[in-house]
Amino acid sequence: MTASRHALIIANDRYTDQGLRKLNAPAQDAAALEKVLHDPQIGDFEVEVVHNASADLMRRRIQRFFNERTRADTLLLHFSCHGLKSESGELYFAASDTEPPLLAATAVPSQFVRSCMATTRAGRTVLFLDCCYGGAFSKGSASVRASGDVNVLESFAKDEPDSGRGWAVITASDSMEYAFEDNRLTENSAPRPSVFTHAVVQGLETGEADIDADGKVSLDDLYEYVYRHVREQNPHQRPKKAAELHGELHLAHSRHGRIKIVALPSPPSLKAALNSDAFLERQGAVLELHKRLRHPELPLAEGARQHLEEVARNDVEQIAALASEVLSEIRLKPTPDHLDFGQVPKGSASPKQSVTMHGPPLARHCVAQPKQTWIRVDPTPSGLEVHIDTTTEGRLSGDIALKGVADESVIHVEAVITPAVRGAGSAGSAPRPSNGSAEPGRGSAGAGHAAVIGQSKTPPRPARPPRVTTGHAGEDRPPPPRRAPVLAGAALALAVTALITLVLAIEGAVAAIMERSSEGVSGNIEDNIRAHGALTSLTVCLVTGAAALITGALARHDLSARRERYTRQAAGRTHTLTSIAKGVAIPALVLAVLAGIAYLVGSGEW
């Protein structure tokens, strides 16, 4: 059973009912949260965003989101909208077409969401509620009370769903509070993410939410970080959490994995020797620190390292050089630092190679973070074991970032995934690694100090393969063509052509104006413009610029309509190319239109 991670973000900031105040934050919330959750190095979620939807559409998308899941799945649902309370005290989520007098018919009840959570087969479900239930609507909405108490968590904190392994709910505020936007409730503030969602995004994006520095952001880590951040921004707002979970739920990886060791202080006698005026006594203290640096107890070794760094910075040249030489022993020394898996058949058993970490225990204490999702790293007693995913055909090149207490290093990984050999089984199809592979040990205390960040203990989720249609029995047809990257490349080429022809048009116009000035009363600016080809270049610029925008829009439409045909890398390339093309084509078109207007207005004056 393959584990997968899915997120649904619902953001409503525009409402047809005049009694509901316009919100500034939801659109920005959705964009920022989608980016960090989708990032394969952070959240690695498949993300869907629903923006300004009707109540009917919201209910459909929510139920579809929870349906057809497995126990291995992790689901995250985020609301950024108004929360409304009925006369009976029931919590509702406002849709774009919500009418406060008709909440049951035009809004989404919290009970509906809880029912979907309770019946899903997904193993773990997390719900984020960035909404307030009172004060976000006009006093004229008689059927909705702006005061009184409704405990948001009571709408969800019931018994654990029978079919799932756990759930959690985190709210932006408690039952009596507003959820603030940008430190204040205001009508006309500039669009910025809300305090709550901004804290969620910042904690995940920077890695600061990794409170225990283990390279993974758990639900508890994130809540602790968000609570502290929100309280610092708004003392009147208090996030709340309720959960029924078996084991720890990791929401994301810490992109900036770090080593954190609480140093054990050195004995007073050693500190006194380090501060002595006698050269030989300080030299002896450095040699004693050298012994402690190699100690298997990491807190003791870390205390020695900190003292040695201070000596290397502040003591006389000879003592400082000795301290620096001692410190060089704990630099990261992976062997090898370049792994080439060669040619590997697609779909074969994942090959593996071993990396040995050298030096004392403090030098081997590091975190390993794969920069690409097709790389998997497991710690071993002697160092690391590196595996690659063979589901995606083509040349692979990536890195594993190592971070230790003293420095950082990189292990480069390469492989070529070749087409699968028809009829060949996966067993034994992978080439043997050139440097062998170590059998993983039992992980006894102190046996090894390498840790891995940026992956779960289960194998990585393979990239989504393209759909393949079949004709006669046993005959495979090639997958349908994937046009979006090609169209995106064409859009960029057209945009660059528009920019080049705009430059040529401007050069021709400048030359024509200078020539007209030198001709005096006998000259004609229109003849000069045509002679230098400025109008032709300007026309080409307008045509190619418009074509670039149209082609880019077609690429994005094809990507959206046929999402299952594209890998994440292809989708990312398409978005990047179309964004660049749009950024080039629009300014070129604007300048070309302005130049054309200037020509039409000014030609009569010359």
Number of structural domains the chain divides into: 4
Q: Are 565 and 467 in contact (CB under 8 A)?
A: yes
Same structural domain for residues 249 and 298? no
pLDDT in tens, 435-458: 444 444 333 333 345 665 555 444
Q: How far apart are CA 163 and CA 118, in angstroms?
A: 7
Max intra-chain CA distance, the chain:
99
- Of 228, 253, 278, which residue constitutes the final position of a domain? 253
Over residues 312-338, the pLDDT tens digits come to 988 899 999 999 999 998 888 899 999
What are the tokens at 341?
Answer: 């898996």
11 and 131 share a domain?
yes
Residue position matching structure tokens 């003392």: 235
Same domain for 410 and 557? no
- Residues 339, 442 within the same domain: yes
What distance in Å separates the CA atoms of residue 93 and residue 398, rounded to the nearest whole number? 44
- Asked if the structure places residue 65 within a domain, the reply is yes
Averaged pLDDT for residues 54-80: 93
**Residue 401, strand partner residues:** 369, 410
What is the residue whose two structure tokens read 């759909």?
467
Does 530 or 438 have the greater pLDDT score? 530
Whether 324 and 350 map to the same domain: the answer is no
Strands 338-345 and 366-370, by their bridges, are: unpaired
Q: What is the pLDDT of residue 247?
A: 76
Which pLDDT belongs to residue 401?
Answer: 86
Is 143 inside any structural domain? yes
Both tokens of 561, joined, read 């309509």
Do both 431 and 339 map to the same domain? yes
More confident residue, 450 or 168: 168
Cα distances (angstroms) measured from residue 152 to each of 131, 384, 392: 10, 46, 45
Confidence check: pLDDT of 2 > 70? no
Q: What is the CATH number of the domain that holds 153?
A: 3.40.50.1460
217 compared with 452, residue with greater pLDDT: 217
Q: For residue 153, what pLDDT is reported?
A: 58
Give the model's confidence band at 180: pLDDT under 50 very low, under 70 low, under 90 confident, else very high: very low
Q: What is the mean pLDDT of residues 533-543?
A: 86
Mean pLDDT on 491-511: 88
At residue 455, the pLDDT reads 52
Instruction: Kindly state whether residues 146 and 179 are assigned to the same domain.
Output: yes
Residues 324 and 345 in one domain: no
Q: Which residue, among 431, 353, 344, has the nearest Cα to 385 in the 3D structure?
A: 353
Residue 258 lies in a domain: no
Radius of gyration of the chain (CA): 31
**What is the DSSP code (8-state) at residue 249?**
P
43 or 472: which carries more pLDDT confidence? 43
CB 96 within 8 A of CB 12: yes
Instruction: Kindly list the distances between the CA atom of residue 76 and the CA atoms of 79, 171, 179, 414, in Å, as whole numbers in the listed order.
Output: 10, 13, 20, 34
d(CA 20, CA 502): 47
247-266 mean pLDDT: 75
Residue 444 has a pLDDT of: 36
479 located within any domain: no
**571 pLDDT above the threshold of 90:** no
55 shares its domain with 180: yes
Instruction: Give the rounded percent of residues in the chain with a pLDDT score beyond 90.
Output: 26
Residues 582 and 592: their CA atoms lie apart, in Å, by 15
Predicted local confidence at residue 405, as pLDDT: 80
| 62 and 192 together in one domain | yes
The 3-state DSSP class for residue 328 equals helix
The parent domain of residue 535 ranges over: 484-605
Spatial neighbors of 498 by CB under 8 A, at least 6 apart, are 540, 541, 542, 544, 545, 548, 584, 585, 588, 589, 592
Query: Domain end: 299, 330, 361, which one?
Result: 330
Buried b (16+ CB within 10 A) or exposed e, 142-171: eebbeeeebebbebbbeeebeebbbbbbbb
Q: For residue 503, how many other CB atoms are within 10 A of its CB?
A: 14
Whether the Cβ atoms of residue 87 and residue 47 lie closer than 8 Å to each other = no
Is residue 107's pLDDT more than 90? Answer: yes
The answer on pLDDT for 100 being more than 60 is yes
pLDDT of residue 34 exceeding 90, the answer is yes
- 226, 199 in Cβ contact below 8 A? yes
Domain containing residue 379: CATH number? 2.60.40.10
Question: For residue 373, which of 572, 577, 569, 563 has the smallest C-alpha distance?
Answer: 569
Residue 499: burial class (beta carbons within 10 Å; 0-12, 13-18, 19+): buried
Task: State the pLDDT at residue 515.
Answer: 76
End of a domain among 209, 224, 253? 253
Query: Does 460 fall in a domain?
Result: no
| pTM recorded for the entire structure | 0.47
Looking at the structure, tell me whether residues 518 and 370 fall in a common domain: no
User: Which residues make beta-bridge pairs with 11?
Assistant: 51, 80
Give the side-chain half-sphere CA count within 13 A for 54.
5
Chain center to CA of 129: 20
Question: 209 vs 43, 197, 262, CA distance in Å?
Answer: 13, 13, 19
> Is residue 459 in a domain?
no
Say if 260 falls within a structural domain: no
Does residue 51 register a pLDDT over 90?
yes
- How buried is 475 (Cβ within 10 angstroms: 0-12 exposed, 13-18 middle, 19+ buried)? exposed
Antiparallel, parallel or unpaired: β 91-94 and 83-85 = antiparallel
∠ Cα 9 462 206 (to 5°): 50
Distance CA(438)–CA(382), nearest Å, equals 8
Q: Is residue 240 part of a domain?
A: yes
* Residue 586 · residue 552 · CB < 8 Å: no
Do both 126 and 112 map to the same domain?
A: yes
pLDDT in tens, 123-136: 899 999 888 653 33
Q: Which residue has the higher pLDDT, 182 or 297?
A: 297
